[in-house]
Structure 1
Amino acid sequence: MTPRPVTRRTAIASAVAVSFAAGAAPRSAFGTPLATPAGPRGWVESTIARMTLEEKVGQLFVQNVYGKDATTPDDRNLPLYGVASPAEVVQKYHLGGIIYFAWTDNVANPTQIAGLSNGLQQAALSQPSKVKVPLQVAVDQEQGVVTRIGPPATQFPGSMALGAGRSTEDARTAARITGEELRAMGINVDFAPVADVNVNPLNPVIGTRSFSSRPDLAASMVAAQVQGYQDDGNVAASAKHFPGHGDTATDSHVAFPVITHTREQWEQIDRPPFQAAIDKGIDMIMTAHLSFPALDDSGNPATLSKPILTGLLREELGYEGVIVTDALNMQGVRDLYGDAEVAVRALEAGVDQLLMTPAMDEAYAAVLGAVRSGRISEKAINDKLRRVLALKVRRGIVADPTVDVSAVPQLVGPAENLAIADAVSNRTTTLVVNDDKVLPLAASGKNVLVTGYGVTTTQTLAAGLTEAGATTTTNVTGTSPTDAQIAAAVAAAQGKDAIVVTTMKAWDTAVTDKRAGQQKLVKALQDTGIPVIVVATRDPYDIAYLPGTRTYLATYSYSPVAIEAVARVIAGTVSPTAKLPVDIPAEGDPSTILYPFGHGLTY
């Protein structure tokens, strides 16, 4: 790795770090949490000493705001916060952080993102106060199916794809490039990697966001990505969702999952990736909105569980970094208590920061009231604040809160990074079945129909095959094809030399039309007698619901970089090398494994 140049700002960051009391020395430049500072000379302690209670409590909230820049009013902020511009939201509550989304109009392009980040930091640092505390600026850039910032930022195919590739070096590289580009845009926190072990093929919310169904593989990938984000990219990472969200068929965004693992199963399955993250000095760990009776039989979600967050995560696992909730607007945490009470209970349980409360005025007032009444001690608030502020110092946010907007086009999505992403993606496609030896397809001169899920997906795949010499036709049927759409696809297939059909969660038992329609589409295409190549563009489990499939590839992601890679594999310019990172069980029978972990063909 190229040594970082020593600038005035990095020198300041080093000086601030040195001002921390001697004790636990860091294992790397940016990784392991340092000991909290002792005495008034430390920036963290001196800052806490000069903060009002309102400022302290504000640092414990990370909120979403609407708008492309910091100072332009956006009326969508009014019902949430009573003020219109993102800058006013930051100043009203003395926020600790902001999180970006596409649906809040925060991520139009890298230059705009950098400008927004700088504007928000200016708002945080310019308000009347005895202290100047910059913001955490966060995003969920897991890559793959959870990617908030698209091209021209460099894209990678996601966690399960990296698990299929088996390369911890690739996992670290993907995190490094992602982190460096985020930091160039003024984003200093990435809520990644996912540390959940996806042992339930019917998991609707984790799936390919997980590296694997095997704890050891997931743990090694998580460790590599923590190093990539933090040590190499200097972006705070956040392992999620503690104590483990991999064995549920319920989506915590809309309901309240229950994990039935025993304590022993938790130790064997769920713990290893989180322990690996802690061992690598992870800055943040995100909680899960689910019940885990073997760890806490109160019925409370883990987000509100003192036995899980304080007893298990802090005391048993020895975690010293920041604990952040998953989004508090999710139904899985809102079923038992009102939004204001949820905020107080989460802090009582051991949480340090509250993410996306849907009732900011009420939650902010409730936390202030809890401290003033003695329900939560100010010492407890100060302890949480120490962890938050120490993260901001350690990650260089205090010394260097803003970015050079003019440099963004050169730093985000350069040709070198895009080439690396292509090379990594080439190593993540798994050839599961090739019974008729259709692959590799000699594309030159062939007429190929590309049909199935996704306008962009089918177009990208067709473009890749065209580049290889094929003549292609696209026909989009979506995720729940109707009889008319299936008939149109069959008609479009006539006279073709091969058919490539893309599927997307064809296993989804919660959506009958999706499962049935994709099954019917694949069978109808197979009945034409033309060779059919099935490409699962998300979960590898689709093949169990597509009987008769004789050629099948898994990409684990519909990101264009993954689809371009599968086109190269189909055309034979790249040989598939990836292995399944999960078992694929038979439909309705998890005890029967159709294709085991580690299976994968090549040519």
Structure 2
Amino acid sequence: MRIRRAVAPLCALLLLTAGCAGAEEDEGPRAQPPKASDPADAARELLADMSTKDKIGQLFVPVAVGTTAEENAELIDTHRPGGLIYFPENLEDAEQIATLSNGLQDRAVDTGAGVPLFLGIDQEQGMVSRLPVGARFPDAMAVGATGDPGAADSLARTTAKELVALGINLDYAPTADVNVNADNPVIGIRSFGADPGLVGTMMAAETEAFSDEGVVPVVKHFPGHGDTDVDSHTGLPVVEKSRAEWEKVDLPPFKKAVEDGADAVMTGHVFMPELDDSGEPATLSKNVTTGLLRDELGFDGVVSTDALNMEGVRQTHGDGEVAVRAIEAGADQLLMPPDMPAAVDAVTKAVEKGRISAKRLDASVLRLLELKVKRGLFDAEPVDPAQAESAVGTKGHKAAAQDVADASVTLLRNKSDVLPLREGAKVQVVGEGAEQIGAALEDLGATLTDSAGQADAVVAGTLSARGEADQKAVVTRARDSGTPVIVVAQGNPYDISELPGLDGYLATYSSVGVSRTAAARVVMGKVRPTGTLPVDIPGTDLKTGDGLHY
């Protein structure tokens, strides 16, 4: 028989006369590691001892507070969340992060039902990287450009090892969106590419590697965010495409994730009228979340919302109502509610009034508990803060990131074989990333100069420059000098469509340090370009699979 936490003496006395009926409901029993070996049976065992308050708390994943466990004490004690998500403001160094993770778990298992936390983070790598420590890999599109699932495995496996050392057990990655819109303001290089098969292959490799190393991966953003021209952080994207086109382009990676047994899938704040004409984003759509993802695809894992503080899901309902509607749609995990008390209160009232049935609430909590059991959260030992620093950003991890970056560089223009440059070539470096690229070129034998007229070549860095007049002006000035111009595109590869007359053009798909170093290595011929385009370039003859070599 499980031992319950002590009840205050006065309440204990009143319990005999039913005068403190809410005491056990508010406090609840302390969860012990379940006896059942089967995760589903263990989840039911845990659920049987949970109060309604603790069940509701399991649905929520708010942003962590501050940099210490003590700063999160009130949040955990009051709301009993099922998880927390880290952002840069919570993170200082490896020892601090590990100490924070240990402290948060200790607080959670000493509170209410005592269920351990999902400690999550957005560590996709590339532009979406929250950690201030560790190896920094390029973006997903760079991984797609390698054409090698081993690169995806390396990124996820290395990332997961570092997360585990820091006490982080869940990553809101990988992205399964198929980026077919060159004007997509929020996905772009966060996608592996425009080919559903490639995206599915890379997604699967990352998902498996994360899982193998002890991190729960969350595949996102169902039903697909790759054909939007609005950022769902600031508005609601509307995707006008037929059901048939969605099934052909956006669905395949998610279908593969479900078939492969994905632990969790995140819904996106996108509205696709052909999937549901209610006007609601997928996150609040029962037709999409339950009808498509659960019933048609057969997904029985955890459904997480995208962040509920994003404007794409806050267009027509208050923050409390959004939380209730997300559960009604089929979500299990409510990520980052902007007003945690309001959201918890709204869900609590919905449960009390029967709008959310006890059966519906239990279904979500069971899925969350089963995943926590399955992934060993109840048996996890504290991480060692003293060892955390030596476990992240190791020489081997950084080398793995450089290998992926080297393999991703794609050569799309090489007029008159301007590349590679000879050792000792005089080079002017301008534009985005000029300092890092220039330093890498100099280390590899180039001679830097401040004058285009005195240079053998100008290397101009761009970063998604299609809509950036200042960046395009830098390239134009370099081209007008008469010196051969080599552009290093470090964001979307689409810049070439608006930069005519170039002598050389390299796409790195990322602006992280290893990608800039990789570009310099290719420019100087120390690494041969082997990457291929994972997307089509509108307005040009460049298609998926293109790439020059030397």
Give the TM-score of the pair, scaled to structure 2.
Answer: 0.92
Partner in structure 2 of residue 467 of structure 1: 443
Structure 1 stretches lacking a partner, 5+ long: 1-14, 21-33, 72-84, 474-490, 509-513, 587-592
Matched-pair contact (CA < 8 Å) for 1:430–1:579: yes
Shift in Å at residue 494 of structure 1? 3.8
Partner residue of 1:196 out of 157, 177, 181: 177
Any idea what the Cα deviations from partners look like across 1:331-369, whole Å, max 9, x if unmatched? 000001110000000000000010011011111000000
Partner in structure 2 of residue 597 of structure 1: 544
Inter-partner Cα distance in structure 1 for 2:35 and 2:244: 39
Partner in structure 2 of residue 486 of structure 1: none
Partner in structure 1 of residue 18 of structure 2: none
Cα gap change, 1:198 to 1:410, in 2 (>3 Å):
same
Corresponding position: 1:379 with 2:379: no
Alignment of 1:287-326 (within 5 A): 287-326=267-306
Please state whether the residue corresponding to 1:594 is helix, strand or coil: coil
Alignment of 1:387-466 (within 5 A): 387-400=367-380, 402-442=382-422, 444-453=423-432, 457-466=433-442
Matched-pair contact (CA < 8 Å) for 2:427–2:456: yes
Q: Which amino acid aligns with 1:19?
A: S
Corresponding position: 1:270 with 2:250: yes
Any idea what the Cα deviations from partners look like across 1:366-413, whole Å, max 9, x if unmatched? 000000000001111111001111111111211105311122122212
Please state whether the residue corresponding to 1:247 is helix, strand or coil: coil
Shift in Å at residue 16 of structure 1? 5.8
Percent of matched pairs sharing the same residue: 47
Corresponding position: 1:342 with 2:360: no
Matched-pair contact (CA < 8 Å) for 1:540–1:556: yes
Partner in structure 2 of residue 66 of structure 1: 65
Inter-partner Cα distance in structure 1 for 2:317 and 2:502: 48
Partner residue of 1:118 out of 91, 102, 105: 102
Any idea what the Cα deviations from partners look like across 1:398-443, whole Å, max 9, x if unmatched? 110531112212221211222222122210010111113111111x
Shift in Å at residue 305 of structure 1? 0.4
Partner in structure 2 of residue 82 of structure 1: none
Please state whether the residue corresponding to 1:307 is helix, strand or coil: helix
Matched-pair contact (CA < 8 Å) for 2:484–2:502: no
Shift in Å at residue 150 of structure 1? 3.9
Corresponding position: 1:525 with 2:525: no
Matched-pair contact (CA < 8 Å) for 1:134–1:401: no
Inter-partner Cα distance in structure 2 for 1:529 and 1:277: 51
Inter-partner Cα distance in structure 2 for 1:88 and 1:122: 14
Corresponding position: 1:558 with 2:491: no
Partner in structure 2 of residue 78 of structure 1: none
Inter-partner Cα distance in structure 1 for 2:96 and 2:115: 23
Structure 2 stretches lacking a partner, 5+ long: 1-32
Corresponding position: 1:108 with 2:92: yes
Matched-pair contact (CA < 8 Å) for 2:418–2:503: no
Matched-pair contact (CA < 8 Å) for 1:121–1:401: no
Matched-pair contact (CA < 8 Å) for 1:17–1:393: no
Partner in structure 2 of residue 181 of structure 1: 162
Shift in Å at residue 562 of structure 1? 1.1
Q: Which amino acid aligns with 1:447?
A: K
Q: Which amino acid aligns with 2:528?
A: S
Shift in Å at residue 87 of structure 1? 2.6
Shift in Å at residue 65 of structure 1? 2.5
Any idea what the Cα deviations from partners look like across 1:525-572, whole Å, max 9, x if unmatched? 111111211011110000101121221000000011111111111111
Please state whether the residue corresponding to 1:237 is helix, strand or coil: strand
Matched-pair contact (CA < 8 Å) for 1:544–1:594: no
Shift in Å at residue 279 of structure 1? 2.1
Cα gap change, 1:18 to 1:471, in 2 (>3 Å):
farther
Please state whether the residue corresponding to 1:256 is helix, strand or coil: coil
Shift in Å at residue 91 of structure 1? 2.0
Inter-partner Cα distance in structure 1 for 2:261 and 2:73: 32
Partner in structure 2 of residue 215 of structure 1: 196
Q: Which amino acid aligns with 1:215?
A: P
Shift in Å at residue 17 of structure 1? 9.1
Please state whether the residue corresponding to 1:427 is helix, strand or coil: helix
> Bigger CA drift: 193-202 or 517-526?
517-526
Any idea what the Cα deviations from partners look like across 1:224-278, whole Å, max 9, x if unmatched? 11111112x2100011100001111111110111111211111111111111112
Q: Which amino acid aligns with 1:507?
A: R
Inter-partner Cα distance in structure 1 for 2:92 and 2:300: 35
Corresponding position: 1:502 with 2:461: yes
Shift in Å at residue 157 of structure 1? 0.7
Inter-partner Cα distance in structure 2 for 1:445 and 1:553: 21
Inter-partner Cα distance in structure 1 for 2:61 and 2:448: 47
Matched-pair contact (CA < 8 Å) for 2:430–2:474: no
Matched-pair contact (CA < 8 Å) for 2:430–2:458: yes
Q: Which amino acid aligns with 2:37?
A: S
Q: Which amino acid aligns with 1:418?
A: K
Matched-pair contact (CA < 8 Å) for 1:441–1:571: yes
Give the TM-score of the pair, scaled to structure 1.
Answer: 0.84
Cα gap change, 1:546 to 1:469, in 2 (>3 Å):
same
Matched-pair contact (CA < 8 Å) for 1:436–1:551: no
Partner in structure 1 of residue 11 of structure 2: none
Inter-partner Cα distance in structure 1 for 2:480 and 2:35: 67
Partner in structure 2 of residue 169 of structure 1: 150
Q: Which amino acid aligns with 1:371?
A: V
Partner residue of 1:154 out of 135, 142, 145: 135
Cα gap change, 1:17 to 1:526, in 2 (>3 Å):
farther
Partner residue of 1:92 out of 78, 86, 91: 78
Shift in Å at residue 92 of structure 1? 1.5
Matched-pair contact (CA < 8 Å) for 1:229–1:235: yes
Partner in structure 2 of residue 80 of structure 1: none
Please state whether the residue corresponding to 1:213 is helix, strand or coil: coil
